[in-house]
Amino acid sequence: MTSHAVNGLDDVVHQRVRLGILTIAHEARRVEFGYLRATLDVTAGNLSQHLGVLENAGLIAIEKGYVGKRARTWVTLTNAGRAALAEEIAQLKLLINRVEHPDTPPDHGRSGAGRPAPPRPGPGDPGWS
Amino acid sequence: MTSGTAFSGDDPRQLLSGTRELARKVRKTQRATWFPLLVLAAVTFAAIPFRYSPHRLGTCAATGPGRVCTVYPDALLVYWPAALVLAYAAIAAFYIRRSRARGVGTRVRPYVIAGIILALAMTGSLLWTLYHPLAFTLAGPGLFSALHSYPFAIGLALVLLAWAERSGALLAMALGYSVVVLVTVAFGSVGGHRELGFPVQLVTAGSVLLLGGIGFLLAQRPWQRAA
């Protein structure tokens, strides 16, 4: 019995906005709420909900503070978040590969038993540019 | 202002290309390569007058009719470490301020720490070269002298900045700069006329940094807020 690559996708991470948050937080040492809202084109309420989901899953850490008199919320990726993002990217690549090459032997889900591990560049890494 | 078109939909291809696009966007926001290059160019040019300060006499050795000694301008031994530590502190402060203003951090700390360590290590190494009899045989013209220069230490640290900013352009520039520095120091030392070649090295190194800084300034356009 084999599992489809779709089964390897994590519902917490496999969501447009949450994947975007993790990607941005991965690139930056830490990122501010306002930058995330503007870059991902979401409302403050919507972004707060997604941040809550990721924080509850232990994928990000949220730090609140002030810069002058302005309240700021900073988001940092945790080690679990880094691993979850890498896993999501790997699964997405696997899924694309399965769609583009349906004749290749089925994968073995997350275990990866019996097949070489998929290449894992940095999550969403466009390389040196 | 938004990336909604670049990062939308649930198609795996769209999601993947969207993450790449986001990563590029963040890096574009983070990059401020022009600032460290211009600061380091200023530090390098400002070192030139110190070159003409009284020289410190180091180890000497008899060579035929006379003797040869290692010498180094006294003031430069104080100027370089102090100026570089201040420069790296200014660069760190600039990136922190920029990070707060733009809402996105940069992993610039390793660059700043490495730059300061290299500056201090270079000073220790130069003092060793000046006073240790064993170093005298190594301190003559050539690659050893070239590696023992503050401009070369700046180049090494710039490679780390290229890694921090994931900038291929800066990596190419840092490597090119280091080669230029090595060549000018090596040639400036030929024939025992190091004191004549020394300002040439500083002028060349400073000019490369200045031109690089201006180039990155025009390319990165910090006066335009990243979308």
DSSP string over B104-151: B----HHHHHHHHHHHHHHHHHHHHHHH-HHHHHHSSSSHHHHHSSHH
Q: pTM of the entire structure?
A: 0.78
- Would the CB atoms of A23 and B104 count as touching at under 8 Å? no
Does residue B193 carry a pLDDT above 50?
no
Per CB-CB distance under 8 Å, the chain A contacts of B18 are 16, 19-20
- Using CB atoms, pick whichever of A28, A41, A67 lies closest to residue B105: A28
Characterize A23-57 residue by residue with b for buried, 16 or more Cβ atoms within 10 angstroms of its Cβ, and e for exposed. bbbbbbbbbbbbbbbebbbbeeeebeebbebbeeb
| pLDDT band at residue B101 under the 50/70/90 scheme | confident
Cβ–Cβ below 8 Å for B20 and A129: no
Backbone phi and psi for residue A116, each to the nearest 5 degrees, phi listed first:
-65, 150
Q: How confident is the model at residue B1 (pLDDT cuts 50, 70, 90)?
A: very low
CA distance B167 to B78: 32
Query: Which residues touch A46 (CB under 8 Å, ≥6 apart)?
Result: A17
* Enclosing H/E stretch for B177: helix B168-189
Verify whether the Cβ–Cβ distance A39 to B2 is below 8 Å. yes
Sorted by sequence, the CB contacts under 8 Å of residue B160 that are 6+ apart come out as B110, B111, B114, B115
Write down the mean pLDDT value for chain B: 81
Query: In the numeric block, which tokens belong to residue B185?
Result: 């120091």
A28 part of contact set with chain B, CB < 8 Å: yes
pLDDT of residue A122: 55
For residue B226, pLDDT over 70 is answered with: no
Q: What are phi and psi of A28, to 5 degrees?
A: -95, 150
CA–CA separation, A75 and B181 (whole Å): 41
**CA gyration radius, chain A:** 17
Query: What pLDDT shows up at residue B225?
Result: 60
ipTM: 0.73
Q: What is the pLDDT of residue B13?
A: 85
CA separation for the pair B219, A123 (Å, rounded): 26
User: Residue B11 phi/psi, 5° resolution?
Assistant: -65, 130
Please state, in angstroms and rounded to a whole number, the distance separating the CA atoms of residues A103 and B102.
Answer: 47
Contact call for residues B130 and B58 (beta carbons, < 8 A): yes
**pLDDT tier, B210 (very low <50, low <70, confident <90, very high otherwise):** very high
CA-based nearest residue to A56, from A24, A84, A37, A30: A84
Contact B119, B150 (CB under 8 A): yes
Amino acid in the structure at residue B187: F
CA distances from A83 to A79, A87, B10, B90 (A): 6, 6, 21, 34
B48: phi then psi, degrees, rounded to nearest 5: -60, -50
| Partner A contacted by B166 (CB < 8 A) | yes
The pLDDT assigned to A109 comes to 46
Amino acid identity of residue B112, one-letter, is V
Percentage of chain B lying above the pLDDT 90 cut = 35
Residue matched to tokens 């649930």:
B10
E strands, chain B, are: 55-63, 66-73
Which residue in chain A is spatially nearest to B30 when comparing CA positions?
A28
**Residue whose pair of structure tokens reads 């610039």 in the numeric block:** B108
Q: Does B70 touch chain A (CB under 8 A)?
A: no
Please answer yes or no on whether B22 and A96 come within 8 Å at the CB atom: no
Give tens-digit pLDDT for B35-86: 999 999 999 999 988 887 777 777 776 766 677 777 777 788 889 999 999 9
Residue A44 has a pLDDT of 94
